[in-house]
Chains A and B, each alone.
Chain A
């Protein structure tokens, strides 16, 4: 690890292992402006906002210059100020500046920096903003007129997600971010994970806002609006209202949603419990009777989509379970089936998710039951925050309320689904024969928790070793699939979450979410588990009630058939 001391604006600052000056400067308490620097992405060096001046008056980009012992730099000289303002002015001159009506209004880095650097006028003529909007995707909207070419979306899609549907085309000022052959996002192999929107500094990429649909059904007397809240919301929504990441705000969310007019508010965690039951059953049967391994989890719709595109031959290895969102929708729709005659209301299932791919998942025709969608509208954490703000609800002053019954009770196992390793841990809790506090601890130490991209665990299951892998970030999924295919690694059970950190890092969550934020959110999720009285899915009394009630003879509602290429041929 490289160590030394730099002199930043006259102050000695020690560095230890920082890869670039930018990190050292930030350590010194100075927030250098950037558009294209993200510690989890490769260094691109395109926005040039992070420039600093060296002792000889030269200009250097701090993001791509390694620190050197004794190096002297200045971060805020008149020269640097002038260049930064010019860069901002140039960017703004070529930006569709309808900020007041922009989806990212108030969350736009370009706007922030324009304010910070006091840009009061633009000396250049406005560029025509006539590039077509791409709203073909179920989850993501792309507005090229707002793109500043920082390349963050491209690198996120390629480097972290291994998807790579975005790239650059053309030269000079004609350059643009586009998909192959200029196709729309819905026409390419986009998995709808939305991570591009989470890193986009402007309104060029944002999550499709469907709050209007929710307002419409909330005000419709003929609709029974049933909501489900995903586990990852409760530890992140507070950030939108200035609370710390990881702070548990479940009760406030419920209170806010009641005020918004939702009729029934439930916990997706209960469906996660169902998933644990079904998936474990599927796994143990396979484990006992033999079959193709590993069994991949199916909770993450972006991962399922990715596998469909990239590894169609593996589809048979993916669990047949619907995702918790869909299971929940299926159960609710079944619960309220044929009730229209009784109270004259239709049931609208609204799910509040940390995820953008859930929007796409809900729209998949093969998941319809009796020609009806499981879930009618999906909004993200951010969209719920928009609604709360719009309604003028003072979130932080709300008194906590509890969810409705009978679907408002989830076990800790169901709730840790929101973080990478959670599904695996929940399944392991179900698999362990001994249901003691000690085994719970044992499971934690198998290695399923933590933020490493690829985690491995091995446990003894009735005298046989069960090999588990946990990956998050689709590029890691790609890595592990390669290892499995080459025979280098063998696993029995693989949990895949597309977003870094799992659902807590979903693109529907408040942005930006740094690695530190994600850690705090994970901590919050585990705290939810720690303080829950029911730790295991099978111990959730509602689960047994469901199996003996609605789901009696109807377990097929919780599954979907997946066929790989080979099966289809047969």
Chain B
């Protein structure tokens, strides 16, 4: 069914909104990747089945104004730590850790009797939080881009239209000229959410100014930072918002084709995007003469083959073209010669998802949030040793402390905070002293970090910072495209040195060598991946030098996490000489005679801990 005019779109919006209102209750079962892995699809099917059996199920098709209970698979609710999550509207109840056996009760008690199931509700320090909005994790957030994620059926264009979806596009097509849109976006100071923070409006204006007849819009959905899943959640939970942003970008810059480059490791996102694109085509929101404006635009989905470096603009376009995903030298910039050598707007998922908000609410509204030069909100994926892991969205300028200790609920197991890694393999490790640092592009840059795509990995005292650096260097080395020498060879040598250090074979001079390599790698590399590859090493060297020194000088890991540096000893007073440890040892490192205290030969010991488990007297300890 094609929507041919703006007026028709408005009418349908009203119709669908009306139909949604008629759904007396809505059950939103999180169908983001995390909760799906936790079994949420089974929960969805079960609830749907039970509701259907009671004859209360509402139709998915909003055009049929049937009253009843809407049972929906939504996008990510964000509170992944507590998944699978089920939200009930209009009450706003959020049920956590829901299991298939809870479904019957949820339907009976809440949906039929209208009462909460308290045992499924989130509680913190003895207090039960019945509604989602009251939970501290949500309370401190400002969900704009993620507004619909978890609050609507992720696979329904009708619900998106009911929630004013494609209204921004209609407004843009009807009342604005391309240069006006570029100006609004420029004025809003929206900056690319993919890591670089380049002003989006400026990029669009540059593409608009190009004379080429053929131009492209490319959406970078190749989110690859370890622990980051903001873009995935948007693509899975609210794909139309991103597509709408792309269409507006196409209109604003004179492009008529868009490509979404999405990781093949995001099968659910690929599926939802394909569904969304098909729906948009069916509704005439993609294709020829969109909403009667004469503007043509279509979107194609391209799957990446799993290379992290394809998140880099020129490698990404090369990959779409079927070439090896390898960054190329600039100039020319992507805005001049990107995909197939044509001027190309390349933004990431979250950036495009911001566009409709700016078009609808204006640049002044957008600038009212966060610092002037870096306004708006930012989605972060918060993971690591924090109580509440998940997907969050906060205004730019929110401090790390608020994010980690209020939204994130502080450090897990009552441990102390040690560091937070921000920006993925390109980012840096920040410490206690940075907790009051506002999260925005410029403040982070000042301390040698970057917002990256928005991954936040929180680390407690038991995390070894040398190991963290080694982990990221291993990642970068494996993901380097191998083209330029500093990145290809430099990251490998840094990785080698870091491996040596965590194995207790490092030397003091290795630390200087690390600095030297990192300096060359970041100064001389070809692309952003290499230029930032040294950040995890340099930042940990800077803020945790003592820890490095402990590894290389004392051959000791202060966090007690480096396996090779552990020493396992037998307390000679507690040992009864039962020989169980000696029998458990896989390498015969435990020596001694029965009924006399045993000893461990440290040269032979592989620190596996088998003896510790075998000892009935708790005489064996790790130091």
Cβ contacts under 8 Å, A45 to chain B: 328-329, 484, 526
On whether A171 and B524 interact (CB within 8 A), knowing A44-B329, A66-B331, A125-B496, the answer reads no
Contact present for B482 and A173 (CB under 8 Å): yes
Cβ contacts under 8 Å, B66 to chain A: none
Cβ contacts under 8 Å, B202 to chain A: none
* A409 contacts chain B at the CB level, 8 A cutoff: no
* B525 contacts chain A at the CB level, 8 A cutoff: yes
Residue of B nearest to A175 (CB): B482
Contact present for A48 and B525 (CB under 8 Å): yes
Q: Per-residue CB proximity of B481-502 to A under 8 Å, as 1/0?
A: 1111110111111001000000
Contact present for A79 and B523 (CB under 8 Å): yes
A175 to B488, CA, bound (A): 9
Cβ contacts under 8 Å, B324 to chain A: 167-168
Measured CB to CB, the closest approach of chain A to B434, in angstroms, equals 25
Measured CB to CB, the closest approach of chain B to A305, in angstroms, equals 26
A65 to B329, CA, bound (A): 9
Contact present for A90 and B490 (CB under 8 Å): yes
Contact present for A48 and B486 (CB under 8 Å): yes
* A174 contacts chain B at the CB level, 8 A cutoff: yes
A390 to B491, CA, bound (A): 43
Cβ contacts under 8 Å, A167 to chain B: 324
Residue of B nearest to A127 (CB): B492
Residue of A nearest to B480 (CB): A172
Measured CB to CB, the closest approach of chain B to A182, in angstroms, equals 16
Among B482, B490, B493, B520, point to the contact of A170 (Cβ < 8 A): B482
Among A64, A87, A173, A174, point to the contact of B524 (Cβ < 8 A): A87
Q: Per-residue CB proximity of A73-115 to B under 8 Å, as 1/0?
A: 0000001001100110011011000000000000000000000
Cβ contacts under 8 Å, B492 to chain A: 172-173
Of listed B331, B477, B484, B519, residue having the most chain A CB within 10 A = B484
Within 8 A of B (CB), among A137-180: 148-149, 151, 167-168, 170-175
Within 8 A of A (CB), among B104-130: none
* A43 contacts chain B at the CB level, 8 A cutoff: yes
Contact present for A83 and B496 (CB under 8 Å): no
A167 to B307, CA, bound (A): 17
On whether A87 and B488 interact (CB within 8 A), knowing A64-B329, A171-B482, A173-B480, the answer reads no
A47 to B487, CA, bound (A): 10
Residue of B nearest to A47 (CB): B485
Cβ contacts under 8 Å, A123 to chain B: 513
Contact present for B479 and A90 (CB under 8 Å): no
* A46 contacts chain B at the CB level, 8 A cutoff: yes
A82 to B309, CA, bound (A): 27
* B478 contacts chain A at the CB level, 8 A cutoff: yes
A62 to B331, CA, bound (A): 12
Contact present for A168 and B326 (CB under 8 Å): yes
* B330 contacts chain A at the CB level, 8 A cutoff: yes
Contact present for A86 and B516 (CB under 8 Å): yes
A101 to B331, CA, bound (A): 41
Measured CB to CB, the closest approach of chain A to B74, in angstroms, equals 36
Measured CB to CB, the closest approach of chain B to A400, in angstroms, equals 47
Contact present for A61 and B489 (CB under 8 Å): no
Measured CB to CB, the closest approach of chain B to A541, in angstroms, equals 57
* B301 contacts chain A at the CB level, 8 A cutoff: no
Measured CB to CB, the closest approach of chain B to A20, in angstroms, equals 10
Count how many pairs of residues, one from A and one from B, have CB atoms less than 8 Å apart in the complex.
108
Contact present for A59 and B524 (CB under 8 Å): yes
On whether A61 and B329 interact (CB within 8 A), knowing A168-B482, A174-B482, the answer reads yes
Cβ contacts under 8 Å, A43 to chain B: 329
A170 to B477, CA, bound (A): 12
On whether A171 and B329 interact (CB within 8 A), knowing A51-B524, A83-B520, A83-B524, the answer reads no
Cβ contacts under 8 Å, B486 to chain A: 48, 83, 86-87, 90
A123 to B517, CA, bound (A): 11
Q: Per-residue CB proximity of A326-368 to B under 8 Å, as 1/0?
A: 0000000000000000000000000000000000000000000
Q: Per-residue CB proximity of B519-538 to A under 8 Å, as 1/0?
A: 11001111000000000000
Contact present for A46 and B526 (CB under 8 Å): yes
A44 to B328, CA, bound (A): 7
* A124 contacts chain B at the CB level, 8 A cutoff: yes
Cβ contacts under 8 Å, A274 to chain B: none
A174 to B331, CA, bound (A): 28
* A63 contacts chain B at the CB level, 8 A cutoff: yes
Within 8 A of A (CB), among B463-481: 477-481
Cβ contacts under 8 Å, A170 to chain B: 482
Cβ contacts under 8 Å, B483 to chain A: 44, 46, 149, 151, 168, 175
Residue of B nearest to A92 (CB): B489
Q: Per-residue CB proximity of A114-128 to B under 8 Å, as 1/0?
A: 000000000111000
Among B326, B479, B484, B516, point to the contact of A48 (Cβ < 8 A): B484
Cβ contacts under 8 Å, A82 to chain B: 516, 519-520
Contact present for B523 and A91 (CB under 8 Å): no
A566 to B479, CA, bound (A): 49
A181 to B50, CA, bound (A): 55
Residue of B nearest to A45 (CB): B329
Q: Give 12 pairs: A residue, B residue, CB < 8 Å, sorted on A.
A: A45-B328, A47-B484, A48-B485, A61-B524, A66-B331, A83-B524, A86-B520, A87-B485, A171-B309, A172-B488, A173-B491, A174-B482
Which A positions have Cβ atoms within 8 angstroms of B? 43-48, 51, 59, 61, 63-66, 79, 82-83, 86-87, 90-91, 93-94, 123-125, 148-149, 151, 167-168, 170-175
Kindly list 13 other residue pairs between chains A and B, CB separation below 8 angstroms, not including A90-B493, A94-B489. A45-B329, A64-B330, A87-B520, A90-B486, A90-B489, A91-B485, A124-B496, A149-B483, A168-B324, A172-B480, A172-B482, A173-B492, A175-B483
Please provide the 9 A-B residue pairs with the shortest distance between their CB atoms, ordered closest to farther.
A175-B482, A45-B329, A64-B329, A90-B489, A86-B520, A173-B492, A59-B523, A172-B480, A48-B524
